[in-house]
Chain A
Amino acid sequence: MTDLLSIRNMVAAALIAALALIPVYCNLSGNFFLLSLFTRIVILALAAVSLNLIMGFGGMVSFGHAAYVGIGGYAVGILAHEGVTSGLVQWPAALAVSALAALLIGALSLRTRGVYFIMITLAFAQMIYYVGVGLSRYGGDDGLTIYRRSQFGGLVDLSNKTVFYYLCLALLLATVYLVWRLVHSRFGMVIQGARSNERRMRAIGFPTFRYRLACFVIAGTICGLAGVLLANHSDFVSPANMHWTRSGDLIVMAVLGGMGSVLGPLFGAVAFLVFEELLPVLLDLVARPFVGHPILGKYAAHAGEYWQIVFGPLLLLVVLYARGGIDGMLASLRRA
């Protein structure tokens, strides 16, 4: 902690600098796919940071975190559909609904522990998923197209890709700072204490349930914000955003990046989505010599499509051999 120039901090600083420079590169090269990809990375990093707050620091493994992405997104989508396009109404409403949902889900779920907690959060997320499917007025299963991004009275123009990216990045960095302050505050100490030994925390007089619930609500609200941004980014919301595998993706990002630190999920989100884009390309390259092969040829021609065959076991290896995730690896580099 005292070593400000550790490799881990340098890499984090380099990553943030690179994220800040992405739009410059994209505008110069005209590669707007990259800008769109990184906007998604930044937004999902925001969601992963919020999940890490409860999972990494609070020990509350929520397997239904994608629900808040959906709630935030649907709040924007439904309001836009009903003609309310002002972001000044949409955004606070989305955050309020996310917070309320987290309050209800948390109040019930936090009565359970361990696997039961994982499963009850999953159950609530499934319920919200089916609410989304049942909203036939708002597209039901097919989702809802948002024709106009949130309006801020000419103050910021969200349809400008560069402006939108910087807004997302600024919100992400602000959130990381907020979570960092939170984790190192008295509140954060109670949360972490309750993770290691809840009974002891209660014995010394902390109402741990209330602390954990507050933490759960904060995380849900931040994730709702990620949903608001994602809806604005893709101009679309659908129940697919809330599918349980999306919650799984968020867990993967948080763990891949390293749960022990506030910035870990940021590393994880970047690594996850970059993998998703790069692994197919890489596999295609490796398989190219086999394209004409009589037996392997038909697989080699589409090798990139099967990237998850590599990605799945990779996850298993991370779990087995790289427990601290990327952040843990960076931290151990300093000692070596």
Chain B
Amino acid sequence: MLLLIEQCLNGLQLGLLLFLLAAGLTLVFGIMDLVNLAHGSLYMVGAYFAATFTALTGSFVAGAVLALGATLLVGMAVEVIAMRRLYGRDHLDHVLGTFGLILFFNELVRLFWGPEGRTVSLPAWLNTAVQILPGMYYPTYRIAIIAVTLAVALFLYLVVMRTRVGMLIRAGASNREMVGALGINIKLLYTLVFGIGAALAGLAGLMQAPILTVSIGMGENILILAFVVIIIGGIGSIRGAFIASVFVGLVDTVGRAFLPELFKLVMSPAAASAAAPAVSSMLIYLLMAIVLVLRPEGLFPAPGR
């Protein structure tokens, strides 16, 4: 039972991290109608920045803040230099152009940081465990991740639903031309949205940095997960992205933890330990395929699309 709770917390944490990636992706998708495969590269860049700035400043928090700002700038630069030219093109063009950007960023990172991975160590006050239930300890850092991502999600919700910029973002998602015709500087809005998306991806990357090794190509697998999330949630919907990311995080983590046991009930132990990892990796793709077959527009399609 304790194991189940712990795995659910892990799943929640993965899901919330996915939400940070998916939120930027779905905003860019919903507003600029752009498929951005290079979103995972920004996640990677954020993690590398965090590693460098943490080493420079000697403090993880200062490093993280600096990395966040740096990723925001990189994102806005990418938008101004490259992405801007892809708006209004075919989705295939987006896939191809941003695929080129992935190659570019991977090699650029190899050039600057070298081929070997980086590790980021946590400050002592985060590197502890808290007793959350009698007899059950959970790492402080993971709780911090859950708290930060929930706060970001709430902040994002308030910005999008309650502020003027958020109103423009929503208006841009449902009718771009009209927003432009009303005299809004749509180019600036796009750069801003892309930058925010990049910063969110960078935040996810830098928060993962102490848990995983920072390495080249780290953004690619999680990017695919983020795409699964926004497809399940419905493109352009932040609410859909939130629900879907928590769902995907839970299914993935809990599936990996308990499928082997479940399989052992019906198969020989050898067959179960061979089949279970593969099946649990496939689980979320299966989920996505089922959702798309039943609801080809995702669970919560954004209005006006």
Of A69-77, A115-123, A170-178, the one touching chain B: A115-123
Of A2-10, A125-133, A181-189, A215-223, the one touching chain B: A125-133
A319–B278 CB distance below 8 A? no
Cβ of B235: which chain A residues have Cβ within 8 Å of it? Answer: 115
A120's partner among B92, B103, B111, B289 (CB-CB below 8 A) is: B289
Q: Taking CB as reference atom, which chain A residue is nearest B112?
A: A299
Cβ of A245: which chain B residues have Cβ within 8 Å of it? Answer: 220
For B149-160 the 0/1 string (1 means CB < 8 A from A) is 000000000000
Cβ of B289: which chain A residues have Cβ within 8 Å of it? Answer: 108, 120, 123-124, 127
Report if A319-B224 is in contact (Cβ < 8 Å); known contacts: A55-B92, A309-B108.
Answer: no
A319–B292 CB distance below 8 A? no
Report if A61-B100 is in contact (Cβ < 8 Å); known contacts: A124-B285, A127-B286.
Answer: no
- From residue B175, how far is it (CB to closest CB) to chain A in Å? 19
- From residue B274, how far is it (CB to closest CB) to chain A in Å? 5
For A231-247 the 0/1 string (1 means CB < 8 A from B) is 00000000000001100
Cβ of B147: which chain A residues have Cβ within 8 Å of it? Answer: none
B282 interface residue (CB < 8 Å to A): yes
Cβ of B265: which chain A residues have Cβ within 8 Å of it? Answer: none
Q: Taking CB as reference atom, which chain A residue is nearest B108?
A: A309
Cβ of B92: which chain A residues have Cβ within 8 Å of it? Answer: 55, 61, 251, 255
A252–B99 CB distance below 8 A? yes
The docked-state distance in angstroms from the alpha carbon of A307 to that of B103 is 9
Cβ of B110: which chain A residues have Cβ within 8 Å of it? Answer: 305-306
Of B83-91, B122-130, B132-140, B190-198, the one touching chain A: B83-91
Please report whether the interface of chain A is mostly helix, strand, loop or mixed according to DSSP: helix
A113 interface residue (CB < 8 Å to B): yes
Q: Taking CB as reference atom, which chain B residue is nearest A134?
A: B278
For B275-286 the 0/1 string (1 means CB < 8 A from A) is 101110110011
A267 interface residue (CB < 8 Å to B): no
- From residue A249, how far is it (CB to closest CB) to chain B in Å? 9
Please report whether the interface of chain B is mostly helix, strand, loop or mixed according to DSSP: helix
The docked-state distance in angstroms from the alpha carbon of A130 to that of B282 is 6
B292's partner among A112, A313, A314 (CB-CB below 8 A) is: A112
B278–A251 CB distance below 8 A? no
Report if A315-B296 is in contact (Cβ < 8 Å); known contacts: A115-B235, A244-B224.
Answer: no
A196 interface residue (CB < 8 Å to B): no
The docked-state distance in angstroms from the alpha carbon of A158 to that of B216 is 38
- From residue B247, how far is it (CB to closest CB) to chain A in Å? 15
The docked-state distance in angstroms from the alpha carbon of A219 to that of B261 is 40
Cβ of A124: which chain B residues have Cβ within 8 Å of it? Answer: 285, 289
For B190-229 the 0/1 string (1 means CB < 8 A from A) is 0000000000000000000000000000001000100110
Q: Count CB-based A-B contacts (< 8 Å).
A: 132
B6 interface residue (CB < 8 Å to A): no
* Chain B CB within 10 Å, residue with most, of A248, A307, A316: A316
A159 interface residue (CB < 8 Å to B): no
Cβ of B85: which chain A residues have Cβ within 8 Å of it? Answer: 320
- From residue A297, how far is it (CB to closest CB) to chain B in Å? 14
B101 interface residue (CB < 8 Å to A): yes
Q: Taking CB as reference atom, which chain A residue is nearest B294?
A: A111
The docked-state distance in angstroms from the alpha carbon of A252 to that of B293 is 28
A136 interface residue (CB < 8 Å to B): yes
Q: Taking CB as reference atom, which chain A residue is nearest B115?
A: A305
A312–B293 CB distance below 8 A? no
B55 interface residue (CB < 8 Å to A): no
B107's partner among A115, A308, A319 (CB-CB below 8 A) is: A308
B297–A116 CB distance below 8 A? yes
Cβ of B29: which chain A residues have Cβ within 8 Å of it? Answer: 115
B279–A309 CB distance below 8 A? no
Some 20 contacts from A to B, beta carbons below 8 A apart, are A61-B91, A108-B292, A109-B292, A115-B29, A115-B91, A115-B231, A119-B231, A119-B288, A120-B231, A122-B227, A123-B228, A123-B285, A134-B281, A251-B92, A308-B103, A315-B97, A319-B86, A319-B89, A319-B100, A320-B86
